[in-house]
Amino acid sequence: MSSPPTSPPAAKRLKLESDSGAPATTASPVKVNGHQLSEPTSAIATPAASSAPSFPGDNVASTSAQRAENDGDDDEDEPEEVKADEQEVVAHRDMYLDTVSRQNLDFDFERLCSKSLSNINVYACLVCGKYFQGRGRGSWAYRHAVGENHRVWLNLATEKFYVLPEGYPVSDPSLNDIIHVLNPRYKPSDLAKLSKLSEPSYTLSSQPYRPGYIGINNIKRNDYANVILQLLLHVPPIRTFLLNPNQPELQDERKPTELVKRLATLARRLWNPRLFKAQISPHEFMQEVSKRSNGKFKSTEQGDPVEFLGWLVNTLHRDLGGSKKRNSSIIYSTFQGKVQIETQQIITHKEYARPVFEPGRDIQTVSSPFLFLALDLPATPLFTDMNEKKIIPQVPLSTILAKFDGNTTQEFGPTLKRHHLTMLPQYLILHIKRFTKNNFVEERNPTVVNFPLRGVDVREYVDPKPTDPMHTVYDLLSNVTLDTAASTTKTNTSQSLKKKRDTDEAPLTWKIHVRAGQLQAANGVGNQEGSEGEKWLEMQDLRVEEVTKEIVFLGETVIQVWERRDLSTAT
């Protein structure tokens, strides 16, 4: 009689003993698992050889024991079958992995099936880069794999690789670089090093780039948002918060909002040292921005970077659980300061050319928190030179900062106000107001602001004075400028200005200068310009160029971020 597919334990032992040349002992046939086997007496003890009496239940127990033993023996045989399957999988794996085309992969777009537009169970084809749903028989991914013979796929949620249409998983170290592009990961110990100018990384085409200082794609007219993203993601506390894998607010159990998650994803890709291409796209992030802002900020229409910055930081503050309390979110702990505003009713005096504060009269004092300070430019002079060309006026930064010295007054309707800083933030955001508008006109002021790159002391604008003098000195971190071919102060109606922004004729575009690296000054002073280890980069959409420090002053500055000196020396 033929042996069963899986040999029973008794049969195995009999075969081993017969192969070893041991003398066979005549024995009566014994049934094991329904098969008659001629087995030696020494192999299986019969009930007659046992000194214990037999009971009717012993046969049942013996059968159960044998069945359990057989089951366990079957389990021992399984690894041999699995090993054979793994060898088969390895053969298939090696055959298909060479079809993966990394230059076609782009994970910056929203994870939606290109056919069903569903975001559930989406797979990426690693041959053509398209997204499809499912991998079962009849799914969109299955049809694409059969129709186009594209075999290697990646589940975007689980980060597991599969071969379709067969459907078996693939595990190979050569695919790890794709995971690092899909979802870059960072160690908390490496985050502090990002403030230093790192060694160049290289793309698939061997193009060098520096992580963090790469271009952001302009989908259509989202350059106003690109400069704000570069600005925020280069502020060290914000950058560390978004890249830290152990950040509590970003864990799944805290249920972060979609805006926060997509901004964190964008930050991880911006600073990724293993990119296939030296650029990223904010498409997925801007989709959520348009949704959350009810269409106010889009990637297809030009916008105001100042308004976008205000909306974004306040929305992030609320999404991160922030309240009106100080340091209730990373936004407030990084950018929030306080200003004291004194208000008095205007009474005209003949002996004064302009209204002034009278100490004897009632003065209303309010302490107000701020995330950025608005600075007013002086009125544009209408003088022209001998060639009848308009002279571009200039003003030092200290002149427009005098608004917060506590003495300079400003008229707001029937009231007179003066401002004084009472608390300085870690990172000071300045907004230089270039556009003035009312119900009829909107005008741009082209006045150039002169400022140093380092060492702006705001001690005279703050009261009470900080005990550490370094807490009042700031160094420039980033500078957003207006870039336009029309350098005039011509008055435009609101509709015509919007039309100019949305057309290709003399468009208003934006660019940003970012300080890369840290200053390595001689003798440890830390405030000398031009030292090695620090560079200035100009970024405008996909264009990233290293520039000299003199270029930073030439544009029409709109937004600046200043880093407090004690923070720059600590990091």
List, as one string, the DSSP characters of 124-151.
EETTT--EEE--STTSHHHHHHHHH---
526 belongs to a structural domain: no
207 belongs to a structural domain: yes
Do residue 209 and residue 286 come from a single domain? yes
CA distance 528 to 519: 8
Number of domains making up the chain: 3
Q: Which of 94, 152, 95 is nearest to 128 (CA)?
A: 152
Out of 161, 180, 199, pick the residue that ends a domain.
180
Predicted local confidence at residue 4, as pLDDT: 41
Predicted local confidence at residue 383, as pLDDT: 60
Q: What is the pLDDT of residues 306-351, one digit of tens each?
A: 999 999 999 999 999 999 999 999 999 999 999 999 998 887 666 6
- Contact between 382 and 360 (Cβ < 8 Å): no
Do residue 447 and residue 565 come from a single domain? yes
Q: Cβ neighbours of residue 449 under 8 Å, at least 6 residues apart?
A: 377, 394, 395, 396, 397, 400, 432, 557
Q: Cβ neighbours of residue 282 under 8 Å, at least 6 residues apart?
A: 108, 216, 217, 219, 222, 225, 226, 229, 266, 299
CA distance 51 to 53: 7
Do residue 123 and residue 264 come from a single domain? no
Do residue 164 and residue 275 come from a single domain? no
- Contact between 105 and 126 (Cβ < 8 Å): yes
CATH code for the domain of 409:
3.90.70.10
Do residue 268 and residue 252 come from a single domain? yes
CA distance 431 to 373: 6
Out of 134, 152, 180, pick the residue that ends a domain.
180
CATH code for the domain of 168:
3.30.40.10
What range does the domain containing 118 cover?
Answer: 89-180
| Burial group, residue 156, by CB count within 10 angstroms (0-12, 13-18, 19+) | middle
Report residues of the chain scoring pLDDT below 50: 1-84, 89, 91-93, 486-498, 500-506, 521-531, 571
State whether residue 340 is helix, strand or coil.
strand
Q: Which of 6, 9, 8, 45 is nearest to 25 (CA)?
A: 45
Write out the H or E segment, with its range, that includes residue 264: helix 258-270
Q: Which of 140, 176, 173 is nearest to 159 (CA)?
A: 176
41 belongs to a structural domain: no
Predicted local confidence at residue 281, as pLDDT: 95
**Alpha-carbon torsion (229, 234, 237, 241), positive or negative:** positive
Taking the CA of residue 528 as centre, how many other CA atoms within 13 Å lie in the half-sphere pointing to its CB? 10
Do residue 244 and residue 290 come from a single domain? yes
Do residue 453 and residue 557 come from a single domain? yes
Amino acid 424 reads: L
CA distance 501 to 221: 9
Q: Which of 262, 205, 204, 271 is nearest to 233 (CA)?
A: 271
77 belongs to a structural domain: no
282 belongs to a structural domain: yes
151 belongs to a structural domain: yes
Predicted local confidence at residue 391, as pLDDT: 75
Do residue 343 and residue 309 come from a single domain? no
Do residue 545 and residue 409 come from a single domain? yes
Residues in the chain: 571
Predicted local confidence at residue 42, as pLDDT: 40
188 belongs to a structural domain: yes
Predicted local confidence at residue 542, as pLDDT: 95
Do residue 274 and residue 356 come from a single domain? no
Do residue 415 and residue 470 come from a single domain? yes
Predicted local confidence at residue 444, as pLDDT: 87
Q: Cβ neighbours of residue 220 under 8 Å, at least 6 residues apart?
A: 299, 300
Predicted local confidence at residue 359, as pLDDT: 73
CA distance 262 to 257: 9
Out of 280, 300, 320, pick the residue that ends a domain.
320
Look-up of token digits 């930064």: 397
Predicted local confidence at residue 67, as pLDDT: 37
Do residue 192 and residue 279 come from a single domain? yes
CA distance 513 to 551: 9
